[in-house]
Amino acid sequence: MGVRTFTAVIASEHSGMRLDRLIADLWPELSRKLAQRIIVAGGCYLDGRRRQVAATPAPAGGRLKVCVDPDQPFRTFRLEPSAILFEDDDLLVVDKPSGTPVALSATGQEGSVQRGAAEHLARAGAAHRPAVLHRLDQPTSGVLLFAKNEPAEKAVYELFRRGGVRKTYLALVQPAPARSEGRIEAAIARRVDRRNQYKVSRERGKASLTEYRRLGRGPDGTALLAVTPRTGRSHQIRVHLAWIGAPIVGDTLYGGAAHPLVFGLHARRLELPHPRTHRPAGFTAAVPAGWLAAFPWLAGIPDL
């Protein structure tokens, strides 16, 4: 695919706005991080002149052109009503599908849940871009929380910082861990020899704690675990479960058995005080249908 071009005349209400923020506001498929990379790479023009500083203020009446050159077409993601778990004036909670990134990729080749959420809010006339409050790895499915306004965004960020948000995951592993429940307390660090991969490292790692409880076992050596991360390190659950010899099904990055239909990590439930009312709120995402189809024994687990 050739260069994809976005053009606009800058309105007076956008005067003085940073270029990266303006681009993200004008075109939801271009995240702010992606806009910054486009600008630095030389793909942004104001009145015909290349601008390579993301903080450049936008002039009213200026002609803005943004050029993106992905190797493949943009893939879009539409947030279906059935995927919305909860919505009010402050929060949007969705059931993220496995395989879809939370935010737009650096190359712009993929749609994202954030873009789908932005388009959903835009159709309803909302002016605020949905803020990502936490992350799920691209293959992970389940509960994902967005803020719809700045006060909610700040309040929930503070809750995460203070440990006021509880997250529970379901992990489908093979083989089952030796113990039916346990605490995994092992520091995690980024690997220096492999990009986007982490490992347990006592010397360089950050303190990390994961708790798990076995919910059931299958005839094929698989097991279903309820997992609660007490810290929020990247790939924490995946690294910890692999470290104790119980890698996640489908997680080949950390030694899990390849599976054509299943990546066995699902954000099952998220609980927090509501940012406006401060009342307890909890959101639950159903077990992916693909899990039940591939592992019929899961249907026998109570309350799944």
CB 111 within 8 A of CB 76: yes
Amino acid at the residue 151: P
- What value, to the nearest 5°, has the Cα angle with vertex 250 and ends 245 and 256? 25
Does residue 227 contact residue 301 with C-beta atoms inside 8 Å?
Answer: no
In this structure, the number of other CB atoms found within 10 A of the CB of residue 14 comes to 19
Catalytic residue among 20, 90, 95, 137: 137
> Which token pair is 185?
């307390």
Closest CA relative to residue 19, chosen from 60, 67, 56, 51: 56
CA distance 105 to 159: 27
Q: Where are the beta strands (DSSP E) in 90-208?
A: 91-96, 131-132, 141-147, 166-173, 181-185, 188-190, 198-200
What is the distance between the terminal CA atoms of the chain, rounded to a whole angstrom?
A: 44
Residues forming beta bridges with residue 160, ordered by sequence position: none
89 catalytic per annotation = no
- Say if residues 211 and 182 touch (Cβ distance below 8 Å): yes
Residues contacting 77, CB < 8 A, separation 6+ = 100, 110, 111, 112, 113, 115, 116
Measured distance CA(27)–CA(106) in Å, rounded: 15
Distances (CA, A) of 59 to 22, 37, 179, 262: 11, 21, 63, 49
Per the listing, tokens 């959420």 go with 117
Active site residues: 137
